[in-house]
Amino acid sequence: MANVTIRSLNKNYENGFHAVKDVNLEIRDKEFVVLVGPSGCGKTTTLRMVAGLEEITSGQILIGENVVNDLPPMDRNIAMVFQNYALYPHKSVYQNMAFGLQMRKYPKEEIDERVREAAEILGIQPLLERKPRQLSGGQRQRVAVGRAIVRHPEVFLFDEPLSNLDAQLRVQMRVELKRLHERLETTAIYVTHDQVEAMTLGDRVVVMKDGWVQQVGEPLELYGKPANRFVAGFIGSPSMNFVDVTISEAGGALWAEAQALRLSVPAQHQERARAYLGSHLTLGVRPEALTLASGAEPAGCCFDTSVDVVEPLGNEILLNFRAGGTPMVARVDPAVRVKARENIRIAVDPARVHFFDEKSGAAI
């Protein structure tokens, strides 16, 4: 059990690529932290530096109270699960799981006890004598997790462990991993590019892009209060709608205007938006904050458009249309009956409108 502290961590590759830029992170004991971002954002490099598989260019990594910068992977008391499972193909499942303990010279009885305990937790007792090539993808993944948990490490590291599984199995393993973490109560750092995995698994989620940490927060915090346009667009599916608007003043109130779109700036944004009077902002609104107008909405919260495509998903309907010169998506109640090319009036929930600086992308 330990917390992991990352201080001003940087990684420069020899070819000059600056993969990780000044990352600071405090991971509490027993916490499940997910690093998420598009490929090449530095999340895996960060994880590999924690594991000791990648040299640290500058900065510090602490596990518990110890600076581990110069410790080899074997001395960090961590366990890692890899995307391609990395099972030793010439060893049986049992030997795979026992290897780490054998290397650390545990007595035979204890190895046996721990392997069987882990196998029971993961439901792989019948597979212990098999070779990895005789296992399905999901079983291999379980063995890889089992190999990590037999060691009772201080920190678990997961590098996209579910990416090689098919969609259904991925959902199932996701739930199992979460259950496992609640049972084992061990600090875990999990890397994924899948924002759904990040949101469902993480106690806290770290969003990265181009080597920078964009935002750290609990899943709902990221969703509800994204720090910038990138986080707003990355978290959530379908992603947030963005429209470039001009801020103007009329009748003592501020208005956000774009082509064929005129919305009043909600009260909570009035003050900060005033600084942008006459210039541009990016307005962001999630698909579920858009509804079909009932007619009772106040003026300045609605706009007219016509539907391009209707996507009925069963539990919801996605309406695709254009507004303010850009394509937008609304997620509406499945009871709604709308056809393509029909003219509709969309209402915007003023409490769920975001504004972002056009240049820096930061939320205002």
Partner 1 sequence: MVIERKWKKWLMFYIPMAVFIVFTLFPFYWMAVTALRPDGELYRTFRQANATPFWTLEPTLEHFKGLLQTTAFPKWLWNTMLIAIVSTIISLICGMFAGYALARLKFKGSEFLGTIIFITYLVPQTLLFIPLADIIRNMQLGNTPWALMLTYPTFLIPFCTWLLMGYFKTIPKELEECARIDGATRFGAMIRIIFPVAVPGILSAGIFAFTLSWNEFIYALIFMSSAELKTVPVGVVSELIRGDIFFWGQLMAGALLGSIPVALVYSFFVEYYVTGLTGSVKG
Q: Which residues bind partner 1 (CB under 8 A)?
A: 51-53, 72-74, 76, 78-80, 82-90, 99-100, 103-104, 132-133, 140, 147, 151
Indicate the burial class of 211 (C-beta count within 10 angstroms; 0-12, 13-18, 19 or more): buried
Which CB atom, from 78 or from 317, has the smaller least distance to partner 1? 78
Check: CB of residue 7 under 8 Å from CB of residue 56: no
Considering the complex, what minimum distance in angstroms separates the CB of residue 133 from partner 1?
A: 7
Which CB atom, from 8 or from 84, has the smaller least distance to partner 1? 84
- Distances from the Cα of 218 to the Cα of 62, 221, 225, 241, angstroms: 22, 5, 10, 22
Which CB atom, from 138 or from 350, has the smaller least distance to partner 1? 138
State which H helix or E strand residue 219 sits in.
helix 219-224
Considering the complex, what minimum distance in angstroms separates the CB of residue 173 from partner 1?
A: 16
Token representation of residue 41 = 């954002």
CA dist., res. 332 & res. 136, Å (int): 39
Considering the complex, what minimum distance in angstroms separates the CB of residue 160 from partner 1?
A: 11
Which CB atom, from 37 or from 132, has the smaller least distance to partner 1? 132
Q: Which residues contact 119 (CB under 8 A, 6 or more apart)?
A: 93, 97, 125, 127, 128, 146
Check: CB of residue 332 under 8 Å from CB of residue 349: no
Check: CB of residue 163 under 8 Å from CB of residue 174: no
Considering the complex, what minimum distance in angstroms separates the CB of residue 104 from partner 1?
A: 5
Which CB atom, from 98 or from 232, has the smaller least distance to partner 1? 98
Considering the complex, what minimum distance in angstroms separates the CB of residue 178 from partner 1?
A: 23
